[in-house]
Amino acid sequence: MRVPFRRPALGSPLQLLLLACSFALAGYAGVRLLADDWFGVALWLVGAAVLHDLVLVPLYAGADRALARVLGTAGHLEWTGYVRVPVLLSGLLLLVWFPLISGQVADRYRSATALSGDGFLSRWLLVTAALFGGSAVLLVLRSLRLRRARKQRPSAVH
Amino acid sequence: MVCEPVRGVSPAYGRGMPRSPSSPAFWRSPLRGPWFTSVLGVVLLVGITVLFVTGLLSYAAYNPDLSPVNDQTPDKGLLGFYLFAWPTDPSWLYRLTQGAHVTLGIALIPVLLAKLWSVVPKLFALPPARSLTHALERLSLLLLVGGGLFEFTTGVLNVQLDYVFPGSFYPLHFYGAWVFFAAFLAHAVLKTPAALRNLRHGLPDRKGELVSPNPAEPTVSRRGALGVVGGGSLLLFGTTVGRGFDGPLRETAVLAPHGGPEPGSGPGAFQINKTAAAVGIDARETSEDAWRLVVEGNGRTVRLDRAALLQLPLHSAALPIACVEGWSTSDQWWRGVRLRDLAALVGYEADTAPDVLVESLQRHGAFRRSALRDNQVRDPRSLLALFVNGADLTPDHGYPARVIVPAAPGVLNTKWVARMTFGDL
């Protein structure tokens, strides 16, 4: 980059124009979005990004790194996926359906819809069990296949 | 790309692992790279465009420009530029557009999260800004990420009736969508050409932006990781999509609201948005003796009890219920008086029937008053229904009388109707 010393860089004028249009539209909608409870809404908007980038991502990335380290130390790094995938999928369902699974909206849900607000937790646990069970079956099958391949190898080498 | 010496790294720390996330070497996943991000980006480009369009359609389906009672966003200004009279054909139109909006939104969550994960090193990149344009672009990314998460979060909470967000869902989700889409549009214009170029190269990359200079030992391939993301989407899709159907298909929506078994049994055993008890309907008000329908218009007023309504010509229509929350039922068999015949009671010809303001006995809650446009009133399938599936309406489905209009959002199909005022709104 050859920017003359001390002259502030502008960047591409076309991109600048595009961003100006984008901010104008976002501003037009934004003042309406913030009209009622500007602090609450701004808190949610910025808070969502901060919570995701600075809490959620470090949390699950750290957990994943710890999992790989523990399994790697135990000499089973290849097991990582068999734990990671069911945890991820089950966690995803929990994240999306947390209000129903936690039961915090059970009363309102029952009163509004005449449907049972209970049972989401047990169904989530069942799905989670199925995910882990399926993963365990795949891991066992994989180990059996590897063992068979290892047994056949001596005769194959000539 | 030149690998600069990492600043802020203490040689005594760990095995030379940088402590600062602003250093590229801090990020060790071997998955990150332009190809991985581009695949996710292009999926979101298509998906979010569909979400935005179906969202705008849902907004139009409420006919907010018809009457203040339909309009949850009176300050919309230019953002309502495209509004049009919502049609009544096909009768499953809103069922399709809103089912697609909510189901696709839920299924896209893993893609959104994976995309954000794949670019998270850029959040910490230094220097904060290389130029004015770059500074503005990063500011715009706050609106993109914050706005996107805001839209997905408010949507996911609203379908679960968890109204913890700061305000009414309609204005938050509508104005939030425009803030998000403004940033999304700029981002798409800036990044799509590069993303498509990356995909055309085909091969997963080994160098380039976002690629870790010090990758950890791989535990999954890039394609494998995309498979997991796709699997997450499929899992959410598979446990959600059933709420747009009846019977055994609805039972497959095991974790989604309005999934599982139908409420109750008999002719009224189909989905309910708000029960009579939840909105304070008193059985004494809806009894044969007490309930009267008031029809007004042209300076005339007609009062009818249920027996008088039954003397009018009764018609049948097979129509679904489709809710803004994304669930719907298949066609139910409604029977009642045509709205245009009720307009005729106060002197309007069937072909020139005007708009109507419908008021419910409902004590509280949004949309206890709502407006229907003339094209909806004139449709021969639009009924003030007295029966469903061969039996009297149940209290939860709006006994003694409810509106049912083809392709209209559920909340405009007013239940426990008490008064209808015909006339241009």
**Each residue's pLDDT tens digit, A107-140:** 999 999 999 999 999 999 999 999 999 999 999 9
Among the partner residues B76, B109, B179, nearest to A26 by beta-carbon distance: B179
- Banded model confidence at residue B11, pLDDT cuts 50, 70, 90: very low
Q: How many CB atoms lie within 10 A of CB B375?
A: 17
pLDDT score recorded for residue A6: 53
pLDDT score recorded for residue B8: 36
d(CA A120, CA A103): 8
Position of tokens 């990004």? Answer: A49
Among the partner residues A52, A97, A105, nearest to B149 by beta-carbon distance: A52
pLDDT score recorded for residue A77: 87
Q: What stretches of A97-156 show up as alpha helix (H) in DSSP? A: 98-101, 106-113, 120-156
**Each residue's pLDDT tens digit, A105-116:** 999 999 999 999
pLDDT score recorded for residue A108: 96
For residues A122 and B2, which has the higher predicted lDDT (pLDDT)? A122
Among the partner residues B76, B178, B232, nearest to A92 by beta-carbon distance: B232
Q: How far is B63 from chain A (nearest CA, A)?
A: 20
What are the extents of the domains in chain A? Answer: 33-75, 77-158
**Each residue's pLDDT tens digit, B143-164:** 999 999 999 999 999 999 999 9
Q: Say whether A26 and B116 touch across the interface (CB within 8 A).
A: no
Question: What is the rounded average pLDDT for all residues in chain B?
Answer: 93
Q: Which residue in A has a C-alpha nearest to residue B229's C-alpha?
A: A89
pLDDT score recorded for residue B300: 96
pLDDT score recorded for residue B205: 67
Does the domain formed by B277-422 have CATH 3.90.420.10? yes
Average pLDDT over residues B198-210: 78
For residues B42 and B213, which has the higher predicted lDDT (pLDDT)? B42
**Each residue's pLDDT tens digit, B324-377:** 999 999 999 999 999 999 999 999 998 899 999 999 999 877 899 999 999 999
- Sign of the Cα pseudo-torsion (B118, B121, B124, B128, in order): negative
Q: How far is A151 from chain B (nearest CA, A)?
A: 25
| φ, ψ (nearest 5 deg) of residue B385 | -80, 140
Answer yes or no: is pLDDT of B207 > 70. yes
**Each residue's pLDDT tens digit, B128-145:** 888 999 999 999 999 999
d(CA A45, CA B144): 10
- Banded model confidence at residue B15, pLDDT cuts 50, 70, 90: low
pLDDT score recorded for residue A8: 61
Asked if B161 contacts B257 with a C-beta cutoff of 8 angstroms, the reply is: yes
pLDDT score recorded for residue B306: 95
pLDDT score recorded for residue A3: 47
pLDDT score recorded for residue B358: 98
What are the extents of the domains in chain B? Answer: 24-238, 277-422
Asked if B161 contacts A111 with a C-beta cutoff of 8 angstroms, the reply is: no
ipTM value > 0.95: no
**Each residue's pLDDT tens digit, B107-135:** 999 999 999 999 999 999 888 888 999 99
pLDDT score recorded for residue B101: 98
